[in-house]
Amino acid sequence: MVFEINAWYADKLLLATWETLYMVIISTFFSYLFGLPLGVILVTTSDGHILENRGVNRVLGAVVNATRSLPFIIFLILLIPLTRLIVGTYIGTIASIVPLTLAAIPFVARLVETSLKEIDWGLIEAALSMGANAWQVISKVLIPEAKPSLILGVAITAINLIGYSAMAGIVGGGGLGTLAYYYGYQRYETPVMWATVIVLIIMVQGIQMLGDTLAAKVINKRR
């Protein structure tokens, strides 16, 4: 009987791990799909940059800051009507992707902004002096030069989304958070709780190592 119970929880753990990975991968993809351009706009419209526009920069900056200031659990609740409108429900793995993505977009925008601001302005001036337009500066100078930092940003975003997904699990979002709360905490199954913690640690370590490795490869290719 003990073996059967353990096997049942093992199946639950595998399913929850897959759900968490699915949520994190999809959310990371969509957050960069929208967050990367937003970060580029924040940089290029800043004072003295290639597309300087103080009004656009301040409005976007205010929106990003306002969104980032909300704790994720509150943001999750506020987005219930929108989540239900988009996917038809606010419970489950698919539904969790909506708030996870929207919460990560401003975070990604700031990471991208920080990465691009580290680029030597002399490289941008050199490109402009050779007749490059704004798009060419962005695509040929800013993004390529910031690639190692951007890769590390992806890793940081994915790690944060793992934490967000665990919080989403408490309100029925699926994944390891749901398993830990409903089966580990509420049913007093301490081994289940520890198993989810170990899996989460392995995920975080694996993502960080992958990000570090990829970033190092990009840097080594330049040498």
Owner of token pair 């351009």: 37
Q: Which CATH number fits the domain that encloses residue 31? A: 1.10.3720.10
Say what the pLDDT of residue 1 is.
37
pLDDT number for residue 2: 41
Residue 193 has a pLDDT of 85
Whole-angstrom distance, CA of residue 129 vs CA of residue 24 = 42
**pLDDT tens for each residue of the chain, 223 residues long:** 343 446 767 888 899 999 999 999 999 999 999 999 999 999 999 998 999 999 999 999 999 999 988 888 888 889 989 989 998 888 888 889 999 999 999 999 999 999 999 999 999 999 999 988 999 999 999 999 999 999 999 999 999 999 898 888 777 778 888 888 777 777 777 888 888 889 999 999 999 999 999 999 998 887 6
Residues 175, 170: Cα–Cα separation, whole Å: 10
Q: Which residue has the tokens 């994190």?
A: 24
Q: What is the pLDDT, as a whole number, of residue 167?
A: 84
- By residue range, what is the domain housing residue 112? 2-222
Q: What is the DSSP letter of 189?
A: -
Residue 87 and residue 98 in contact, taking contact as beta carbons nearer than 8 Å: yes
Q: How many domains does the chain have?
A: 1
Q: Up-side HSE of residue 11: CA atoms within 13 Å toward CB?
A: 5
- CA–CA gap between residue 131 and residue 62 (Å, rounded): 33
DSSP string, 148-190: HHHHHHHHHHHHHHHHHHHHHHHTT--HHHHIIIIIIITTT-H
Q: How far apart are CA 30 and CA 91, in angstroms?
A: 19
CB 87 within 8 A of CB 94: yes
Q: Which residues contact 43 (CB under 8 A, 6 or more apart)?
A: 49, 112, 113, 116, 117, 142
